[in-house]
Structure 1
């Protein structure tokens, strides 16, 4: 056997012997720390390294005694307002047995043969573990839910008021909401000698910030319509819709959708049944009266000089607005929309006062303005025809008006702009054609009229 081959076999034998020795040593170490805590291990600063499981548990009980169930735990908010609960209320206790099991699991993992470097590192540097605690999560969560009314603070939206046409703004403020999940975690991490738990909160942002009003300094327009307050169902619907659009801010170059703001008009959303116009007839449906809100808003928008994107008139005249100045909405297929065509936000103000609906548009106005916007309409009336129908069951000579008929009309609406009392622009903003509805008169035997139809 040559020298090189001999050297190879000797080196291989020594390597195998070293691996076997290390493996046996690691196996022995792993077996040893099966029920003995690794040196350098502590729990919240209490050294339990080198101790058997039962010894380590006794040391922890003596060094980290747990308060009795009658002990008080103080819950405090960020301002220091306290609420006291008993440990027993949430079955709050230390689990020394599980804590030692975690220490042994850590020891066994560190002492594994393929982690020999970590073994010596852990023994040298040490490892401090937390004391495992348990509590009744359901009971603690129930307590926190009851405290939420005491500690929660709602966010306050920026507000505005107006004196004449001038705007006064009020600063917004953030709110807070008790963070149940975060507070539970805070309790789990609370040191054994700490009996004061600072509650965790989430920040609640306001929906309307003072910056949202940036540039709003004047009332651009106001339009008022009247309604019968004794019609309670219709009045209720008007007030409900008015509240929903009140204080809505439309950013620059954005489109406002009335349907989107109001949502479905149904019983679930608080609307009542009241008269509505459907298919050229007056009937009853949920949300009757909301179209008056649409009409009042439409006129305020037009007077403010904003761009109407979508507007559909009623098929019948309405008593609360000038001819050609009404707007209807229905379901999710007929909407009223307008574009804020300015470089500043605009705000809708909608108020109900003693049978009157007042809708204002607030926005930005550069100094004093001599600009006046008027709405003018042209209306061409078409009279209905009359139709006689002979009906069985009527007595001789009897005449019954089954349908009174309705005028037809062609309506053109213009926006007219004056500057210094001089007309500078006239723009057609809508054109509506409504066909006349014939008058239907039922007659009994013996009545002879031109064009009589037998039924």
Structure 2
């Protein structure tokens, strides 16, 4: 009996325990559900609000709707940015970049959208923690600007402060050499200034921005001390064009003027085509005879090869050799064989390099239809003189082809192409020191084409005119009925 009572008592205790545990579990679950509902409701209250403690620049927009946040930021930053100034100092001048002209604007709408989306991808409980404790996020506004205005602003600064370097110049009057000294120039480093402005343009609203433009010193390419080494005439050469038509003579004068006054510094290469430029009607060039292949025909700029050839002779006699030089395909009449230098725009050029350690000055002018080039340099340190000769070592004799032409009357001849003799020529440069020949070297080996002649001979028989019948003598008697 006692055991049964004990057993009954234990069962009763167990039932109470089970009920207690069950009630506790139910209450815990109920509390969890209730808390979750509470949390869900709390989070839901922020469905249209930016989570707490979201800072844009220095402004807390937590708890605001998107529209409220936009309005707040626009009032505080959108208008204020237009009143901001950025100063650039260049030399003694100050330039102010106007943000209103810069079309400066903050990305307020994008920033508010970004702020609103913060932590909304988190779990419900994580979102509640951010709402309860605050986000603590800080977002910077990005500034968009019209960079074309920045470039215009920089260009204004550059235009007002850039100064071209001025090369030293030389003039020769009556054999007297005068040198005007060079001056340095200034150049605003536009790329550096643009980088500085774009880096600083998005600074704090209250920040005073002042930049210094980097201005580089531009050295002249030709300095006075260099030109002062030119102390005398090194060489001269002239050719005559008295028989030239007016168009050809005009072309010679134009090309000579283009070269006159040219200074070639040590190590520089002179290009005839670059210095003279393209021969166009707009620049005054006219039609005249030019050698094309193995014949002479009318072409724009005819005669300029006399200029290049005369210059070649003056330069080679100063001791400077050619980098590029070609002879004509046919012999020219204004120079000995091997002395010429043909040029053509987009084709052959005449070039030479100044291999001296001093500059040379080229003087070119026309006098009584004589073309003269003088080369000036340092004759004190260079005691050498030069001569130039040529040697014909082979004559290319042309043939004449005779063509029977049945369309020409028998015995009649027409010269369709006159024969032209060709030549192979070697040229030599002779170097003298104090009047003594010390060196002879071959400079070129030129070929001038021969041109075979063509003569047409008529073979058409000439028929004798038909005989006319004799006319009977007239009757001078009277006739009548």
Q: TM-score range by the shorter chain?
A: 0.5 to 0.7
Q: Distance in 2 between matches of 1:240 and 1:66?
A: 65
Shift in Å, 1:234: 7.4
After superposition, where does 1:336-415 map in structure 2 within 5 Å?
Answer: 336-342=350-356, 344=357, 346=359, 349=362, 365=378, 367=380, 369-379=382-392, 389-395=403-409, 398-415=412-429
Q: Distance in 2 between matches of 1:330 and 1:160?
A: 30
Q: Distance in 1 between matches of 2:256 and 2:96?
A: 40
Whether 2:329 is the aligned partner of 1:315: answer yes
Partner of 1:173: 185
The 1:375/1:86 distance shift into structure 2, 3 A limit, reads: same
Shift in Å, 1:287: 6.0
Partner of 1:231: 247
Shift in Å, 1:281: 1.0
Q: Secondary structure at the match of 1:298?
A: helix
Q: Secondary structure at the match of 1:170?
A: coil
Which of residues 124, 131, 140 in structure 2 aligns to 1:129? Answer: 140
Deviations 1:42-95 (Å, cap 9, x if unpaired)? 62xx443756466655554454461698x89798772536689793x6644445
Partner of 1:12: none
Whether 2:173 is the aligned partner of 1:158: answer no
The answer to whether the Cα contact below 8 Å between 1:74 and 1:84 also exists between their aligned partners in 2 is yes
Q: Distance in 1 between matches of 2:342 and 2:250?
A: 15
Whether 2:50 is the aligned partner of 1:35: answer yes
Gaps of 5+ in 1: 1-23, 114-119, 448-455
Which of residues 317, 320, 326 in structure 2 aligns to 1:303? Answer: 317
Partner of 2:439: 425
Shift in Å, 1:373: 1.3
Q: Distance in 2 between matches of 1:190 and 1:362?
A: 60
Partner of 2:32: none
Partner of 1:116: none
- Taking structure 2 as the reference length, what is the TM-score of the superposition? 0.58
After superposition, where does 1:321-336 map in structure 2 within 5 Å?
Answer: 321-329=335-343, 334-336=348-350
Gaps of 5+ in 2: 1-38, 127-132, 462-481
The answer to whether the Cα contact below 8 Å between 1:48 and 1:56 also exists between their aligned partners in 2 is no
The answer to whether the Cα contact below 8 Å between 2:90 and 2:157 also exists between their aligned partners in 1 is no
The 1:264/1:175 distance shift into structure 2, 3 A limit, reads: same
Q: Secondary structure at the match of 1:231?
A: helix
Indicate the RMSD between aligned Cα atoms, in angstroms.
5.8
The answer to whether the Cα contact below 8 Å between 1:418 and 1:425 also exists between their aligned partners in 2 is yes
Partner of 2:90: 78
- Taking structure 1 as the reference length, what is the TM-score of the superposition? 0.60
Shift in Å, 1:307: 2.9
Deviations 1:244-273 (Å, cap 9, x if unpaired)? 994454627xx7666788899899999987
Q: Secondary structure at the match of 2:90?
A: coil
Q: Distance in 2 between matches of 1:301 and 1:388?
A: 45
Structure of larger gyration radius: 2
Q: Secondary structure at the match of 1:328?
A: coil
Aligned pair count reads 397
The answer to whether the Cα contact below 8 Å between 2:338 and 2:426 also exists between their aligned partners in 1 is yes
Which of residues 229, 238, 244 in structure 2 aligns to 1:217? Answer: 229
Shift in Å, 1:424: 2.9
